[in-house]
Amino acid sequence: MMNKLISVIIPMYNTEKYISDCLNSLLKQTYTNFEAIVINDGSTDRCGEIVKEYMKKDSRFKLIEQKNQGASAARNLGIEIARGDYLYFLDSDDFIHEKTFQICMSCFEAQKVDMVTFDAQCVFEDDYLKNNPPEKIIRMSKFYDRSDVSNGNGLMELSTFLKLCLFNNKFRGNLWINMIDMDVIKKNRIRFDNKITYYEDCIFLYFLSKNIKKIKYLPEKLYYRRLTGSSLMTENNTSKKIAENLFYCINLLEDEYQEINHEQKMVNKIFKQMLCAAAKLYRDKSFYEANGIVEIENERWKLFYHCLDKYRQLIEEYEKEYNKAISDIDAILNQN
């Protein structure tokens, strides 16, 4: 097991300032049997040249060039090229702990799981600290800490883990906090949806979850997510794309719901709840009207708000069910 190959897929676009930190964190890995596939998605800066310098010194690094098509297309290309037994996605402006691969591979060997998931630590750049209030900094510093959802040894069914995350408001749809058995990806032809730019991780993870049984959760911060001072999420063109992608994702999950079994329906609801939680950031109707969505997609607008209300009620039902289960367990224990 400990000689199995890890394929690391790194979509890259104009990250010359950070790509060295990313690749250096791979060079420091104590588990060394990996291939790093960097997909240059039409960058206009020097990041491609920087990667080539690493390739000259280490054959584990590969650079694939493509016209700008977005992260989903870049990752799909990486999956097709990957030769590994396990798959890991890494963003080109972030980096990982030096023992990330060793720890994950030890879990795969000992536990025979389909996926290993872990936590992340935010790295705040000066501009981010200057442009955000202290309360947001504090919230983000704990955002990827899911240690309070562990069941003890961290070994559980994926659906159970997702429920625990939902109950504790710790559902995180980012792929870079997971390492995945490549067989699950390739046997089930799981790919990213090229139609969306935002929440593509979430949709990929949803389809992945339909084919994963057992996971291992590690309450360790092995990923370092960099937060800069950029405000792309508030730009009009970006905001419109976010709103459109939310509509698309919710509709996709609604269509799926009618064709899946009971257990998958539960997971489907959890992912819809996450998307609706994200939608609350843009709850004001004027936001969507300003981006021309209501007039164009009136039926989707109705469905969107229907989902918001429906799944707000759903989470309350989950909480009641969870609290009752805990109460029943306490009653049994007290009898003894």
Q: What is the pLDDT of residues 115-166, one digit of tens each?
A: 999 999 999 999 999 988 999 999 999 999 999 887 678 999 888 888 888 8
- Say which CATH number the domain at 115 has: 3.90.550.10
Q: Are residues 238 and 203 in the same domain?
A: no
Question: Is 296 inside any structural domain?
Answer: yes
Q: Is residue 300 part of a domain?
A: yes
For residues 270 and 323, membership in a common domain is answered with yes
Domain final residue pick, 174, 208, 230:
230
Residue 251 falls inside a structural domain: yes
Same domain as 291, residue 143: no
Domain end point (choices 164, 198, 230) = 230
Of the given ranges (26-35, 218-227, 317-326), which has the lowest mean pLDDT? Answer: 317-326
Q: How many CB atoms are closer than 10 A to CB 217?
A: 26
Residues 98 and 131 in one domain: yes
Residue 141 sits in the same domain as residue 280: no
- Judge if 129 and 200 occupy the same domain: yes
**CA–CA gap between residue 271 and residue 277 (Å, rounded):** 10
| Residue 1 covered by a domain | no
Which residue, of 230, 256, 275, is where some domain finishes?
230
Q: What is the pLDDT of residues 239-290, one digit of tens each?
A: 678 777 887 888 899 888 888 888 888 889 888 888 877 776 555 555 555 5
Rounded alpha-carbon distances, angstroms, from residue 2 to 112, 215, 238, 246: 13, 18, 43, 40
Task: Examine the domain organization and report whether 17 and 161 are in the same domain.
Answer: yes
Residue at 42 is within a domain:
yes
Residues 205 and 256 placed together within one structural domain of the fold: no
pLDDT band, residue 235 (cuts 50/70/90): very low
Strands (E), the chain: 6-12, 34-41, 61-66, 86-89, 95-96, 115-124, 155-157, 178-181, 214-227
Asked whether residue 193 is domain-assigned, the answer is yes
Please tell me which residue, 11 or 149, carries the higher pLDDT value: 11
Question: Are 91 and 184 members of one domain?
Answer: yes
Residue 238 has pLDDT above 70, yes or no: no
Chain centroid to CA 330: 34
70 inside domain? yes
For the chain, the 3-state helix, strand and coil shares in percent, each to the nearest 5, are 55, 15, 30
pLDDT tops 50 at residue 234: no
Count of domains observed in the chain: 2
pLDDT score, position 313: 66
* 135 & 159 share domain: yes
Residue 157 and residue 12 share a domain = yes
Tokens standing for residue 18: 């950070």
pLDDT at site 248 = 85
* pLDDT digit string, tens, across residues 44-79: 999 999 999 999 999 999 999 999 999 999 999 999
The partner residues of 117 in beta bridges, in order of sequence, read 178, 217
- Are residue 195 and residue 287 in the same domain, yes or no? no
pLDDT at 291 exceeding the cut of 80: no
Check: CB of residue 10 under 8 Å from CB of residue 86. no
**Quick check: 101 pLDDT over 60?**
yes
Domain that holds residue 262: 234-331
pLDDT value at 310 more than 70: no
336: in domain: no
